[in-house]
A and B are shown apart, each in its own frame.
Chain A
Amino acid sequence: MEAIACRDCDLLQHIPPLPPGGKARCARCGETLATGHADPFRLPLVFTIAATIAFIVANTMPLMDLSAVGRESSTTIFGGALEMWQQGSEITALAVAFCAVIAPGAHLLFLLVVLIAVRRPPAPHWVGEMLRSAHFMEPWSMTEVMMLGILVALFKIAQLATVIPGIGMYAAGAFVFLLAAVLVTLDSREVWARIEWADGTLPPPASADTAGTAQ
């Protein structure tokens, strides 16, 4: 059994061995503390690779084509930010580029490196830094919000032009679901248990019940 403090209320408790699909919740505030998986990294890796392909297609193919009174225009995800920049809203353009392209891309890249590195434990210490960076990017990666934004934007434009969704749009939709699948199946506790400690020692066996001593 492993001792852990709930990240939401600091209650100290033990996590029993979990069956695949089982969940451990905090006894006081109900936060999910751990989930059990048969092979903790296979599904997340499969979903991450699929999400990477969808992400690349979503960002290179046009999202949609628009035609009005004999004129045509099309845009990509990054094009949305670029046009904002050219129209003089530089700060907003940077935020759109960060939340729609940079954060999801970085999030995915960090996860991919972490998942490949932990296949042969013990993983080197920098893998932990990667996982930390992935967690940092998570709330700022807003592809699903962007999809809803595009839907509203399309409705606003619908009266003045004909809009045809492109391949990029379908890929972005697939990416949203694949990334959600990665986050649901990945248990970062399992990753940390396979990473080398800061002083270069190997991770202790999972049965360790005692707390370490801070340096």
Chain B
Amino acid sequence: MSADALSAAEAGLVSCTTCHLLSRPAETANPGYCPRCGAGLVWRRRHSIQYTWALIIAATIFYIPANALPVLTTTALGSTESDTIIGGVIFLYTSGSWPLALIVLVASVMIPLGKLIALAYLLIQVQRRQVRNRHDSARMYRVVEFIGRWSMLDVFVDAFVVALVQLQPLMSVEPGPGVVFFMGVVVLTMLAAQTFDPRLLWDTPLERQALDG
């Protein structure tokens, strides 16, 4: 890359977040609207750091009941049994399917936790205005953005187990209170990944000052 490469913001241009048209705003403080698609123009996503923190904190709070409360309650021949997410993983493992157990463990436990840690790490780096390795951080953000939806796996598992196992009065399965919290974690972390602006990772200190000011 040549040394005189410029970011659009450094060149006084703003890229539309909807249609990616470049335009030159008349006023820096108030960039106005995109001439092509009519969307509001912003230099960087508004309040990206605060919104992302708020969503991460909310998701962390939800993460606790999501794992502690049961997600499925099975009633068979009068006896009732409740399963948490980890309980479901252990069930899959002991019934002989370690690949499925591993998939559910990764999708339901490790990905949500990993996303929370990764986004917090990116935010702290941006806030301290010291991004250590931009390429690795950019890659980390892309992985977080791409992988988030797969955490919804457990919600679908529970929905279809509930839908299929309705053999009253012999056996029935009901969703537990943990499902809604778990779904909350997935949705909130997906929104957090969407509100984070990856361009903050690349902005130079000078640029940051100008854009914040």
The residues of A with any CB-CB pair to B shorter than 8 Å are 3-5, 7-13, 27-30, 63-64, 66, 68-69, 71, 73, 75, 79-84, 87-89, 91-93, 95-96, 99-100, 125, 128, 132, 135, 139-140, 142, 145-146, 148-157, 159-161, 163, 188-189, 192, 195, 197-199, 203, 211-215
Give a binary string over B130-154; 1 marks a CB under 8 Å from any A CB, 0 the rest: 0000110010011000001110111
- Are A3's CB and B22's CB within 8 A? yes
Per CB-CB distance, the 4 closest pairs between chain A and chain B, nearest first, are A149-B156, A5-B8, A5-B15, A198-B38
The residues of B with any CB-CB pair to A shorter than 8 Å are 1, 5-11, 13-15, 17-26, 31-39, 41, 88, 91-92, 95, 97, 100, 103-104, 134-135, 138, 141-142, 148-150, 152-167, 170-171, 174-175, 179-180, 183, 187, 190, 194, 198-199, 201-203
B135 neighbours in A (Cβ, 8 Å) = 29-30
A197 neighbours in B (Cβ, 8 Å) = 35-36
**A69 vs B76: C-alpha distance when bound (angstroms):** 13
**A145 vs B41: C-alpha distance when bound (angstroms):** 34
**Which partner residue on chain B sits nearest A9 by CB separation?**
B202
Q: How many A-B residue pairs have CB under 8 A?
A: 242
**A80 vs B156: C-alpha distance when bound (angstroms):** 8
**A29 vs B165: C-alpha distance when bound (angstroms):** 49
**A30 vs B137: C-alpha distance when bound (angstroms):** 13
**Which partner residue on chain A sits nearest B141 by CB separation?**
A8
**A155 vs B91: C-alpha distance when bound (angstroms):** 11
Q: Which has the most chain A C-beta neighbours within 10 Å: B19, B36, B142? A: B36
Given contacts A10-B15, A11-B202, A128-B37, contact A29 B153 (CB under 8 A): no
- Are A214's CB and B41's CB within 8 A? yes
B1 neighbours in A (Cβ, 8 Å) = 27-28
- Are B163's CB and A83's CB within 8 A? yes
Select which of B21, B154, B160 is within 8 A of A192 by beta carbon: B21
- Are B37's CB and A132's CB within 8 A? yes
- Are A139's CB and B35's CB within 8 A? no
A64 neighbours in B (Cβ, 8 Å) = 164
- Are B38's CB and A211's CB within 8 A? no
**Which partner residue on chain B sits nearest A201 by CB separation?**
B35
- Are A213's CB and B156's CB within 8 A? no
- Secondary structure type dominating chain A contacts: mixed
What are 6 A-B contacts with C-beta separation under 8 Å? A9-B201, A10-B9, A84-B159, A96-B155, A148-B150, A149-B159
B37 neighbours in A (Cβ, 8 Å) = 125, 128, 132, 192, 195, 198
- Are A157's CB and B92's CB within 8 A? no
A9 neighbours in B (Cβ, 8 Å) = 7, 134, 138, 198-199, 201-202
B155 neighbours in A (Cβ, 8 Å) = 92, 95-96, 149
Select which of B9, B19, B24 is within 8 A of A211 by beta carbon: B24
- Are A212's CB and B21's CB within 8 A? yes
A145 neighbours in B (Cβ, 8 Å) = 149-150, 152-153, 156
A142 neighbours in B (Cβ, 8 Å) = 149, 152, 156
- Are B159's CB and A29's CB within 8 A? no
Select which of B24, B39, B164 is within 8 A of A75 by beta carbon: B164
**Which partner residue on chain A sits nearest B191 by CB separation?**
A139
- Are B162's CB and A213's CB within 8 A? no
- Are B20's CB and A12's CB within 8 A? no
A189 neighbours in B (Cβ, 8 Å) = 20
- How far is the CB of A81 from the nearest CB of chain B, in Å? 6
A-B contacts besides A5-B20, A12-B10, A213-B26, 11 pairs, CB < 8 Å = A8-B142, A12-B6, A27-B1, A68-B170, A80-B159, A80-B163, A88-B174, A96-B155, A142-B156, A151-B100, A192-B36
